[in-house]
Structure 1
Amino acid sequence: MKAIQKGFTLIELMIVVAIIGILAAIALPAYQDYTVRAKVSEAVIAASSAKSALSEGFQSDGLTGLSSVATSINATPFAQKASKYVVNYCVGATVLTPTAADCAATDNTLANWVVSVAVAATAGNGIPTGLNGNTVVFSPNVNGITPVATSQGAIDWACASVTNQAATGRGLANRVTGTLPAKYAPAECR
């Protein structure tokens, strides 16, 4: 009687190693993009304070309230708005690269009250340094358009990176694009 050998052959082990290598090669870049998206989501959180203040200003005093709040946000020192993953955020009529000078130089006769949030990307925070200063932009819409003097209702915010497909799909007309690549933006901002 012959003894039956148990175990794997060298070929079987090599096939398993090759499969694991292929899966790792696919999964690693996807995971890295996911971790960057998680860090960039802090930009959405940073913008929430500005969005809340602007919405409240609009509800209490219309366009004058929006402009007053925008002036106040832009006058706040950027060091008070910065965090590990956010350089600064400003409210302006055009997409800014928010730095200390940009908020101070913003024209406060704002036309569309866009909140622009710049991402901080450094060697130490895990976001690729090429993304430093890229922006995620939030644009206010009342009944699907930029607020005007006769607008009534709540503000709905359109979020955009270099693309604005989510906002377009929601029927929001005021949707200014930012500079952050879509693959790093939260799903709402793509």
Structure 2
Amino acid sequence: MNQPLRSPTVARRAPAARAETGFSLIEILIVVAIIGILGAIAFPMYQDNTRKARMTEVVVAASTCRTAVSEVYLATVVPPSGWNCSQFPASKYVKSVATAEGGVITVTATGFGDSSIDDKVITFTPYHDDTTPKNHATAGHLGKAVFKWECQSPASGGIPVKFLPANCRGV
């Protein structure tokens, strides 16, 4: 019988047990990269959602004027100067509330710390029916309730649509 030749001087050793020393450098780098990617995506989304929540206060600021304009149209009276909207609710995010011809309300935002929103406006237009804006000079508009309010951001000087509530985005 042939037996394999073995060197008498070479002894076999048992493999050394590897000590657990914690995370390897590559594992740590992968975790840091994942956290960085999540942060790069999540932080801007968080900022946008915060701005949207603050924008709700701007929309609510127009509610007092919407009520006043609706009452004027319903009461069949010639609208007073300012449509009874001269006093607007003070707010951290509302710079001014103004009412123009026909009862169109313009709210100017402030305090967002974002030049794309600060000093920009959003408008609320009262409608006589589904397609006709209210006008106190038009026959039949006084004495009738406001059918709906349309919230819009003007193309020039308006608040970016992505920060507006869904009912102001035409959704």
Which of these two proteins has the greater Rg computed from alpha carbons? 2
Once the 2 structures are TM-superposed, how far is the Cα of residue 38 of structure 1 from its aligned partner?
1.5
What is the alpha-carbon distance in structure 1 between the residues aligned to residue 146 and residue 80 of structure 2?
18
Give the corresponding residue for 1:72: 84
Q: Aligned-pair distance for 1:72?
A: 2.7
Q: Is residue 46–residue 86 contact of structure 1 (8 Å, CA) maintained in 2?
A: yes
Q: Which amino acid aligns with 2:37?
A: I
**Aligned with residue 189 of structure 1, among 144, 160, 168:** 168
Alpha-carbon distance change, 71 to 56 in structure 1, aligned in 2, over 3 angstroms: closer
Aligned residues: 148
TM-score scaled by structure 2? Answer: 0.73
Residue of structure 2 equivalent to 1:90: 98
**Secondary structure of the residue that 2:62 maps to in structure 1?**
helix
Q: Give the superposition deviation at 1:9.
A: 2.6
Are 1:160 and 2:152 counterparts?
yes
> Deviation digits for residues 80-104 of structure 1, max 9, x if unmatched?
5442111110111xxxxxxxxxxxx
The runs of 5 or more residues in structure 1 that have no matched partner are 93-109, 164-176
Distance of aligned partners of 1:69 and 1:140 in 2 relative to their CA distance in 1, 3 Å threshold = farther
Q: Show the 5 A alignment for 1:41-60.
A: 41-60=56-75
Distance 1:59 1:10, change over 3 A: same
Report if aligned partners of 1:36, 1:127 keep a CA contact under 8 Å in 2.
no
- Contact 2:83–2:103, Cα closer than 8 Å, also in 1: no
**Matching of residues 34-183 of structure 1 within 5 Å:** 34-61=49-76, 64-65=77-78, 67-68=79-80, 70-73=82-85, 76=86, 81-92=89-100, 110=101, 112-121=102-111, 126-129=112-115, 131-144=117-130, 145-147=132-134, 148-151=138-141, 152-162=144-154, 179-183=158-162
> 1:54–1:38: structure 2 CA closer, same or farther, 3 Å change rule?
same
How many Å separate the matches in 2 of 1:69 and 1:57? Answer: 11
Runs of 5+ unmatched residues, structure 2: 1-14
Residue type of the alignment partner of 1:131:
I
Query: Normalization by structure 1: what TM-score?
Result: 0.66
User: SS of the counterpart of 2:75?
Assistant: helix
Between the aligned partners of 1:49 and 1:71, the Cα distance in structure 2 is 11
In structure 2, relative to structure 1, the CA distance for the partners of 1:39 and 1:186 (3 Å cut) is same
Give the letter for the 1:87 counterpart: K
The percent identity for this pair of structures is: 34
